[in-house]
Amino acid sequence: MNIAILGTGMVGQTLAGKLAESGHTVVIGTRSVSETLARTVPGPFGNPPFKAWKEQHPAIALVTYAEAAVRGEILFNATSGGASIAALKAAGEANLAGKILVDVANPLDFSKGMPPSLTVCNTDSLAEQIQRSFPDVRVVKALNTVNALVMVNPAAVGGGDHFLPVCGNDAAAKATVTEFLKSNFGWKHIVDLGDITGARATEMMLPIWIRLMGVLKTPMFNFKVVQ
């Protein structure tokens, strides 16, 4: 498939690398190709500067958000949560219309230091803001509750015996994404939380996730639902 990842950070790099390895044609979208390739500072999670990563992945094209939106059949929003609406506006409403957008972003506000707070919660969510701003986009919230390395390799934690919530208004889009995550990444326990308002719950998992990472001293963990 033609996959477009919007976002050049650790999540964008990890998703793109894994999907290209699996045989998909992958492009990554950014604000400015030249500025992103000129960066020399590593990412906050130790991921390499984009140019160094790109040299290891020559088949993955770096393009503008708009070109990525045109080229992708399925899109992933892996942009900073506070910038996701701006990034999607740059991608272009018409280019996004009718496409599935897997929203991986979290509305984290680091402006007052650690731990971050959420810019939106309880009665709204980033995914709902995206769905309202782009009504013709088929938004599926998924993968935001785990670290990037776990997103693409759930088996790395407890043999993959843990859960991934998804939600969205479009049942067919959700079914496509669920199958995609199973077949490409090996997710076993995907739980459908219903419509896009389920993103209030999954985005509000971040405060506990971040505190747990501080205690466990690793991002390689996930939650498991036991009945």
Ligand X SMILES: NC(=O)c1ccc[n+]([C@@H]2O[C@H](COP(=O)([O-])OP(=O)(O)OC[C@H]3O[C@@H](n4cnc5c(N)ncnc54)[C@H](OP(=O)(O)O)[C@@H]3O)[C@@H](O)[C@H]2O)c1
Please give the residue ranges that form the binding site for ligand X (CB under 6 A). Answer: 7-12, 30-31, 36, 45, 78-81, 83, 86-87, 104-106, 108, 144, 147-148
Residue nearest ligand X (C-beta atom): 9
The nearer residue to ligand X, 80 or 197, going by C-beta atoms, is 80
Asked if residue 29 lies in contact with residue 15, where contact means CB atoms within 8 angstroms, the answer is: no
Q: How many CA atoms lie within 13 A of 181 on its CB side?
A: 28
Please provide residue 143's backbone torsions phi and psi, each rounded to the nearest 5 degrees: 70, -10
The nearer residue to ligand X, 61 or 148, going by C-beta atoms, is 148
Q: How far apart are CA 96 and CA 74, in angstroms?
A: 10
For residue 84 the two structure tokens come to 């996701």
Minimum distance from CB of 194 to ligand X (Å)?
Answer: 21
Cβ neighbours, 10 Å, residue 226: 4
Minimum distance from CB of 123 to ligand X (Å)?
Answer: 20
Could you tell me the CA-to-CA distances from 113 to 109, 110, 117, 120 in Å, in that order?
Answer: 8, 5, 9, 17
The nearer residue to ligand X, 9 or 160, going by C-beta atoms, is 9
The nearer residue to ligand X, 160 or 219, going by C-beta atoms, is 219
The nearer residue to ligand X, 30 or 129, going by C-beta atoms, is 30
